[in-house]
Amino acid sequence: MAGETINEDKSQDVESLNTDDLPFFAEKSARQVVGRVISTNFTYLMAGLNDAATGVLIPYIQPAYGIGLFQISFAYLINFSGWLFASFTNIHICSRLGTGGTLVVGAAVQSLGYALMSWKPPLPLFMAAFFLTGMGVAYQDAQSNTFTITVKNSHRWLGILHAAYGVGTVISPLVANTIAARTPYWHFYYPMTLCLGIINTCLLAWTFRRGLFQPNVLGAKDTASSELKATLSNRTVWILNTFFFLYVGAEVTAGGWLVQFLVSVRNGQPSKVGYIASGFWTGFTLGRVLLADITHKFGERRMVFVYLVLAMAMQLIFWFVPSIVANAIAVCFLGFFIGPLYPVGLYVLIQVIPKELHIGALGIYSALTAPTSTYNTAGFSASLGQAGSAAFPFLTGSVASKAGVQVLQPIMIGLLGGIVIFWALVPRKGPTS
């Protein structure tokens, strides 16, 4: 009882403090950091607007530049290189600029990419812009997760954060398809995202203004290299990284190529089937919102296996039932069942990470404060894992250019099967020493 009273007193002390008085990694209630919660969710909305547009615009980009599926697939490869670059530089940049500064830099770089795309530049420049958008989104992705894990009931807030991404992916195909189908200016989608990107940059700078461009903790840059080495040498981190890599690859491959599949294999009209992509992302978003607490209640490990079995069933219906209506329903439920997997994986990551990565607790509220290396590990995993959103869509496009876009289906089944395998390898709990 005495121990419980002490813990309650500590919690009340933290609640009574202004968030500016707390260490960055101290666990905070959402109402203490409501501005930052809003800005990081808007950042994820922007990531959704970015990721879901390319697949819908492919049927319009190809004739505009006179290129085939293989050439357009390089957009995903270049995007992947931006993600990969960010994955290995994120810890070093954050150690110098802090979470807020890294978020602002990422938003500015993403906006620069849209500035290049918005005027339909020559193809090499248009493709190069995908490096900037990939790098910018990756920095924001890692740091938004880093921040959200410090909010109380993080499993719920991670679900909401990633649902905001889903909202962006629902809106994106609707807007992009409407612009491309009804006007000859498909690239006008990018001036819109440029304006939103500028708003995103300003909102992040305002909400993280205290200590902006300063490390989250003193001496962080001196330990960045050792933290990265510890992260890279840890087996559990790599198991979960591969899980994230395959999962995000499946997510964006499905959303990115399903329109082209419906056009080429099911003989749908681009102006009509383009909206089915929003059905996939709508199911995806609802899954992240509605299944967050259910997953936590019945156990993350068990429920992920359940969701993957159901997702495979939906993918098989999409593959073998030659009906656009049935395909639209199947992909909606596919999105619903795979939606929660990414935030659930991040939540599990901080539960199973080995104790030797926990390099001390911060401040006088050490009992409520998270170790810095755990969060850098989460940021690394989020950033590197998201690289799958570019790698596998490129692979699918490359193979499809030779064998046809119907290869989407076996590739998706292979990705879902790989996710099952690596989830099974995740330890049930971290070591106690």
Residues 6+ apart with CB under 8 A from 240: 345, 348, 349, 352, 381, 385, 422, 426
pLDDT for the residue 58: 86
CATH number of the domain encompassing residue 74: 1.20.1250.20
pLDDT for the residue 390: 61
Kindly state whether residue 7 falls inside one of the protein's structural domains: no
Kindly state whether residue 38 falls inside one of the protein's structural domains: yes
Distance CA 116, CA 109 (A): 11
pLDDT for the residue 10: 44
Predicted confidence (pLDDT) per residue in 30-66, tens digit: 888 999 999 999 999 999 999 888 888 988 999 999 9
Predicted confidence (pLDDT) per residue in 78-87, tens digit: 988 888 888 7
Kindly state whether residue 297 falls inside one of the protein's structural domains: yes
Whether residue 363 is predicted with pLDDT greater than 50 in this model: the reply is no
Sign of the dihedral through C-alpha 74, 76, 79, 80 = negative
| Residue 374 confidence class, pLDDT cut points 50, 70, 90 | very low
Domain total in the chain:
1
Whether residue 27 is predicted with pLDDT greater than 90 in this model: the reply is no
Determine the average pLDDT of the residues in 313-324. 93
Chain mean pLDDT for the chain: 81
Kindly state whether residue 332 falls inside one of the protein's structural domains: yes
Report the share of the chain in percent with pLDDT over 90: 37
- Judge contact between 411 and 263, C-beta under 8 A: no
Lowest mean pLDDT among 121-125, 320-324, 332-336, 388-392: 388-392
**What are the phi and psi torsion angles at 185 (to 5°)?**
-110, 70
Kindly state whether residue 396 falls inside one of the protein's structural domains: yes
pLDDT for the residue 252: 79
Kindly state whether residue 8 falls inside one of the protein's structural domains: no
| Residue 309 confidence class, pLDDT cut points 50, 70, 90 | very high
Kindly state whether residue 60 falls inside one of the protein's structural domains: yes
pLDDT for the residue 356: 45
Kindly state whether residue 14 falls inside one of the protein's structural domains: no
Strands (E), 67-194: none
| Residue 259 confidence class, pLDDT cut points 50, 70, 90 | confident
Determine the average pLDDT of the residues in 117-125. 95
Domain containing 282: what range?
30-425
